[in-house]
Chain A
């Protein structure tokens, strides 16, 4: 009763085969859900806060992955949409609007901006898109400072709305982590369905070769705009979560350097991969903390060195680690024929 995945054509490893069995998959899902519920209740405060931050930036990297990893368009402006979402959230909350409306706006406004930018830029080549996306955070910072009545100027604004409500009996950090898991998880699931479906296939074709895509009736322009809009929307979600966890935003949030860090996180995690986005978020949050613990005066050297070392061994990011290990393992194991059925279990 092996239910082989209709997508897979290459000879799969034993693990892949196991994963394709429905009860294994649903068992894993149930396990993840249980963990998601129980773990925040057991971990100390700092661990929860770190996990929440990882969630925030995983979503940001996920957005970047949609447009860069899947659709192949260069975007160096993802942090602009994160910052925009955060500012919309802060403004809306401080203006007294209902938090659900604020969330919806935090998703929609960046999406609209992203769409407008893409409508203009997507007709141009890859470098032009890169340039336009670089412009976003760079112009965004002085804009945020200029419109200081709305944004709080260079001193930033605070918005504390994620304190745990009385009826839950939870601590703040637990409540925030649950919110991140819930909203972030939903975003991940929706995106995963998107990229596994026809849109994902269209993105892949556009990424591969635009002329081929056009000749197949897949409009590169349309799908580029779509990819950007989705990426910006996800960026807005990340911005909302940013306010949930950090509760403060300032023009520094939009710093262009963070866009570069997001790009590096995406590649290190694994471009074009959902799990890679999660790993990328973890990278973004954990590497500064770890290098701080090693030596706060040498954070830059260590971060550069770690990045280069990881890429040296895993040029395709951490998601390629299983593949690498398998390759190393296969070098030692006896040669197996290509026709071998994946059900064969070793070890």
Chain B
């Protein structure tokens, strides 16, 4: 046994010397490094003369898989129809078709980063992914590798700050923007109002509440009487609603992104006989999927914000944009149902916005792409509500920053400018 110990010591010493020697020598590996592009003229990865490849890491399984699948479907629908028409003519004169590589990250930041590592060498840009922690996980790596992480579906304002995130840009309005829009509407109301707040316990809910509070600051007629949270994994929010109802508020600000919880909230409020006016966020306000099953017509008023036409609204049943959108979804994205999540529409708009950028690109490089990305203004993407548009020129704002407050009219939504008494 002593002999073995001596041999193990010898082996360790040899190994140690070996490691140090190698490290000091600092040998590099042979072959090309997939490290962005060299000069301004050499093309970035993921783009050839005939195709451009976009990458996505988004949740396709687990609790957020419903919206996640929509993020892919919308993009595939848009570019499917564009490819079928022959492709996009870029600013450098070449016509290219768009390919999409999407990977499932199961809403796990670690897997999102792994997906990014896997894709970055073979895609031109990463886009349209859903989720704040999952996008944050590889944000710094994308900055270091100079890979665009653009038009992503999170309302986290960090991604739109050009100083902090030079290679990123959010698409959907910041959660704060949406909360602010509600707050402004309420602050402009005539009488006194007591507000109860129920928010999701994460950056989504916090952002909404922050924006709302900043908009009603200084408005003497508005008072927040109770503020509660819930977890995205809760099976019910009955207890919270019971507690909020006891506060006698006449307005409920419900920053909730979980469909079944919104439905059961609507039902519960009617059960306990508390009928406040209601604010809902843009992604959980679908008339067909949420308001009708919940019986929202019993409430005095239901408001939400939006920048996209909702296909379920009867008002848009004949709308040209919507009809094209639904047929593209069915034909190119294998998505035959009417979407219950707005992310399908948002991804479709992202596709249209990207097309705008592509038509302006004169060089097949990521640098040029980012430069052109920030020059879009007043672009009315298909499915956008009148009065809203894509504007990427404002520092610190995502691609869509204007939202419209809309009110439920029993069947669908219509825009409002002020709080109806």
Contacts and interface: CB of A to CB of B under 8 A. Distances in A.
A253 B202 contact: no
Interface residues of A, number: 52
A19 to B, nearest CB: 13
B31 A44 contact: yes
Nearest to B15: A33
24 contacts: A26-B7, A30-B14, A34-B18, A38-B22, A41-B28, A44-B31, A142-B201, A142-B231, A145-B201, A153-B202, A154-B202, A156-B136, A169-B26, A171-B28, A248-B109, A248-B138, A250-B109, A250-B137, A257-B62, A289-B114, A291-B104, A292-B103, A297-B69, A299-B104
A287 B350 CA distance: 31
Contact of B108 (A37, A174, A255): A255
Contacts, number: 132
A315 interface: no
A181 to B, nearest CB: 10
Contacts of B139: 158
A299 B60 contact: yes
Contact of A154 (B29, B104, B133): B133
Interface of A: 22, 26, 29-30, 33-34, 37-38, 41-46, 49-50, 53, 142, 145, 153-156, 158, 160, 167-171, 174, 242, 246-253, 255, 257-258, 285, 288-289, 291-292, 296-297, 299-300
Interface in B253-306: none
B201 A49 contact: no
A29 B11 contact: yes
Given A22-B7, A34-B18, A255-B108, A248 B113 contact: yes
B133 A252 contact: yes
B31 A296 contact: no
A282 to B, nearest CB: 13
In order of increasing CB-CB distance, the 8 nearest A-B pairs are A169-B26, A154-B202, A250-B133, A33-B15, A296-B104, A248-B137, A300-B61, A299-B104
Nearest to B69: A297
Interface in B112-160: 113-115, 117-118, 121, 132-134, 136-141, 156, 158
A156 B131 CA distance: 12
Contact of A296 (B14, B18, B23, B103): B103
Is the contact region of chain B dominated by helix, strand, or loop, or is it mixed? Answer: helix
Contacts of B137: 156, 246, 248, 250
A297 B62 CA distance: 11
B136 A168 contact: no
A33 B109 CA distance: 32
A33 B60 CA distance: 40
Given A155-B133, A250-B136, A285-B114, 4 more contacts: A42-B30, A46-B118, A246-B110, A250-B109
Contacts of B26: 167-170
Contact of B136 (A53, A155, A253): A155
Interface size for chain B: under 10, 10 to 19, 20 to 34, or 35 or more residues? 35 or more
B28 A44 contact: no
B3 A22 contact: yes
B102 interface: yes
Is the contact region of chain A dominated by helix, strand, or loop, or is it mixed? Answer: helix
Given A168-B26, A250-B109, A296-B60, A49 B202 contact: no
Contacts of A153: 202-203, 206
Given A49-B114, A285-B114, A37 B136 contact: no
A53 B108 contact: no
A26 B11 contact: yes
Central interface residue in B23, B29, B118, B140, by most chain A CB within 10 Å: B29
B355 to A, nearest CB: 24
Given A26-B7, A168-B23, A248-B140, A299 B201 contact: no
A296 B107 contact: no
Central interface residue in A45, A248, A255, A258, by most chain B CB within 10 Å: A248
A246 B113 contact: yes
Nearest to B110: A246
Contacts of B19: 37
A145 B202 contact: yes
Contacts of A296: 60, 102-104
B104 A297 contact: yes
